[in-house]
């Protein structure tokens, strides 16, 4: 699959480096620090989520410096051999809590897609894209707090040896929010992932998947959280 490019930011600032590893942080190199049970449960819920087959998803190296524990996924919306949109979703966890988050978990995302020229010219596009994010969460009945982020619209025009290429426009949504914690202090990360995939699909121009849609399949089991 096509990996999401660029860097993520927590609240539009701060995630400027992606680390190595296998998609999760949380233990010292000597294994002396175990993964908290709420974090394990939250990651397990991400891995068990049911996703549309047009969305290809894989674990990816998680950031080291934003929180004591982190797990990351990258995704692409694929139609044949064409990537319609891509993105990355990062789950952060600090057992001691974080003042800015107002909780112990935080979700951070980057979503990108190419735009049709008519859509790119819409002056309300940034507000519409932000409403797609909040609407995707609300549509699944999810509660969350402290949302923040940016919507960036960019255009590329080609000259000289590249002059034959048509002008291209792209939208980029960077955002973060605090998922409300449920039983045992664990948020419903599976539902938040499904909402994020709804956003990806909408940005890519796919029709919404209805409740019980047979096109929704189970995410294959992959590596679990691993030590640093």
pLDDT at position 221: 28
CB 227 within 8 A of CB 20: no
The Cα diameter of the chain in Å comes to 60
pLDDT at position 220: 31
Write out the two tokens for 6: 């660029």
For residue 175, list its beta bridge partners.
Answer: 109, 149
Could you tell me the pTM of the whole model? 0.76
pLDDT at position 21: 39
CB 79 within 8 A of CB 56: no
End-to-end alpha carbon distance in the chain: 25
Angle, alpha carbons 134-137-138 (nearest 5°): 85
pLDDT tens across the length of the chain (228 residues): 333 333 333 333 333 333 333 456 554 443 435 889 999 999 999 998 888 888 999 999 998 888 999 999 999 998 877 788 999 999 999 999 888 999 999 999 999 988 777 776 777 888 989 999 999 999 999 999 999 999 988 878 788 888 888 878 888 999 999 999 888 889 999 999 999 999 999 888 887 765 544 333 333 322 233 333
Write out the two tokens for 116: 């049709």
Q: Would you tell me the crossing angle of helices 37-47 and 189-204 to the nearest 10 degrees?
A: 40
CB 107 within 8 A of CB 184: no
Interatomic CA distance for residues 130 and 201, integer angstroms: 14
């Amino acid at each position: 699959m096509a990996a999401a490019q660029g860097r993520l930011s927590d609240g539009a600032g701060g995630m400027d480096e992606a680390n190595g590893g296998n998609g999760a942080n949380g233990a010292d190199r000597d294994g002396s620090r175990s993964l908290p049970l709420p974090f394990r449960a939250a990651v397990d819920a991400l891995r068990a989520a049911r996703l549309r087959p047009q969305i290809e998803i894989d674990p990816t190296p998680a950031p080291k410096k934003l929180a004591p524990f982190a797990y990351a996924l990258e995704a692409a919306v694929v139609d044949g051999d064409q990537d319609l949109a891509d993105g990355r979703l990062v789950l952060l966890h600090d057992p001691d809590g974080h003042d800015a988050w107002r909780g112990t978990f935080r979700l951070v995302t980057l979503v990108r897609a190419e735009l049709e020229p008519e859509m790119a010219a819409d002056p309300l596009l940034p507000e519409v894209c932000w409403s797609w994010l909040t609407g995707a969460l609300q549509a699944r009945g999810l509660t969350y707090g402290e949302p923040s982020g940016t919507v960036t619209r960019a255009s590329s025009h080609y000259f000289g040896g590249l002059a034959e290429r048509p002008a291209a426009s792209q939208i980029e949504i960077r955002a973060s929010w605090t998922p409300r914690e449920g039983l045992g202090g664990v948020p419903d990360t599976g539902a938040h992932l499904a909402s994020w995939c709804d956003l990806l699909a909408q940005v890519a121009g796919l029709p919404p998947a209805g409740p019980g849609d047979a096109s929704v399949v189970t995410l294959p089991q992959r590596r679990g959280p691993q030590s640093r």
